[in-house]
Amino acid sequence: MDTQITEEIFQKAAQIMNEMIPEEWEKIYLYAQISEDHGTVFFYYFPVGGNKPVYSLNVPKSFNLDEDEFINLRTELDDCFFELWEEIRGSDQEQWTCLTFILENTGNFKIEYGYEDLTENDPIETQVIWEYKTLGIIPENGSYKKSLFDIYMKNLENGEEKR
């Protein structure tokens, strides 16, 4: 794997997210789960002075942005992580299945790779668990996400950790 290419991919992803966020931000938490035939990429960010994370897919409606332009940026962001996945695949490194990219407005960043088999996992369940473990988000009562969260918490109480 070429470290320079990897750095360029993360730099491009950071630039795209910056374009997607129409306000000053302090920190971004991105999750990407990629396989040969599927990918999920989303992020949350904390506005400057804010303590509540903003979900990337809520940005266009919250800020009255052009949906088509936002979708194009989102596709470019997705492409960055498919490219990164392919870059690793063509190397002698172990293939990651998911990652968390934490970016601060200072330019500091952290990347955490996951290697577990996620092919059997429900993508919504995976998102709910990631949101809780990473950001402390608990879904709204009465929602499908909340039912998944409750099952996760019950399993956790029984000593059954699931990513």
pLDDT at 163: 53
Q: In terms of domains, do 48 and 104 share one? A: yes
Q: In terms of domains, do 68 and 129 share one? A: no
Residue 148 sits in a domain whose CATH number is 1.10.10
**pLDDT of 2 higher than 70:** no
Q: In terms of domains, do 65 and 145 share one? A: no
Q: In terms of domains, do 47 and 82 share one? A: yes
State which residues form the domain around 54. 3-116
**pLDDT of 5 higher than 80:** yes
Q: In terms of domains, do 160 and 111 share one? A: no
Q: In terms of domains, do 86 and 149 share one? A: no
Contact between residue 77 and residue 97 where contact means Cβ atoms under 8 Å apart: no
Mean pLDDT, the chain, whole residue set: 94
Q: Which residue has the higher pLDDT, 74 or 3?
A: 74
Q: Please list, in sequence order, all residues whose beta carbon lies within 8 angstroms of the beta carbon of residue 64, skipping any fewer than 6 positions away.
A: none
pLDDT at 103: 98
Q: In terms of domains, do 64 and 95 share one? A: yes
Contact between residue 30 and residue 16 where contact means Cβ atoms under 8 Å apart: no
Q: In terms of domains, do 63 and 138 share one? A: no
Q: In terms of domains, do 109 and 131 share one? A: no
Q: In terms of domains, do 88 and 153 share one? A: no
**Span 132-138, average pLDDT:** 97
**pLDDT of 1 higher than 60:** no
